Amino acid sequence: MRWRIAILGLLLTAGLALAQGDLPPITPQTAGSLQPLAMLGNGEANDLAFSPSDKLLAVATSVGVLYTETRAPETTQRLEGAPFYAMRIAMRPDGAQIAAGSTDSTLRIWDHRPAS
C-alpha cells in the first residue's frame, strides 16, 4: 500500500467536511462503513494540504506534487516541474499558492487559483 497513494480516508474526510450536515462523523463505530472515493497516482504519499475552502487537495509524493478537486478526485493532476521527491507541502491561507519542500533541499512554489 505504501507504493500507491491511498488518500481514500482523507478524501472521505474532505467529503464529510463538505457535506457535514448530510453524513455522520467518522467514529470507531462508523469507520467500517467508509467507502473509497479515489486512488491518486503512484508513489508514496508524504504530506497533504487542503485548500481553505476544502475544494482542493494537494499531496506531496515521491513523484512530485499531485492535486485534485475534492468533488472530482478522478481528475488528479501533477503540478508542473521535473518529478522530485516532495516531503512537505503547504498552502497559503487564501489558497493562491502551494509550496513543497523536497529531499534535495529545494523549495518549489506554484501559483494556484482554486475554482470558486
Q: Could you state, in order of their start, the residue ranges of all structural domains in the chain?
A: 8-111
Q: Give the residue among 46, 57, 39 at the shortest CA–CA distance from 84.
A: 46
pLDDT of residue 115: 53
Task: Give domain 8-111's CATH number out of 3.20.20.80, 3.40.50.300, 3.30.70.1140, 2.130.10.10.
Answer: 2.130.10.10
60 grid coordinates: 506531496
Provide the pLDDT confidence category of residue 49 given band limits of 50, 70 and 90: very high
Comparing 55 with 82, which gets the higher pLDDT? 55
Helices (H), the chain: 8-18
pLDDT tens sequence across 70-115? 888 877 888 887 678 999 999 998 888 999 999 999 999 999 765 5
Return the number of other C-beta atoms located less than 10 Å from residue 58's C-beta: 24
Q: What is the pLDDT of residues 85-94, one digit of tens each?
A: 999 999 998 8
Q: What is the pTM of this model?
A: 0.69
For 73, the enclosing helix (H) or strand (E) is: strand 72-78
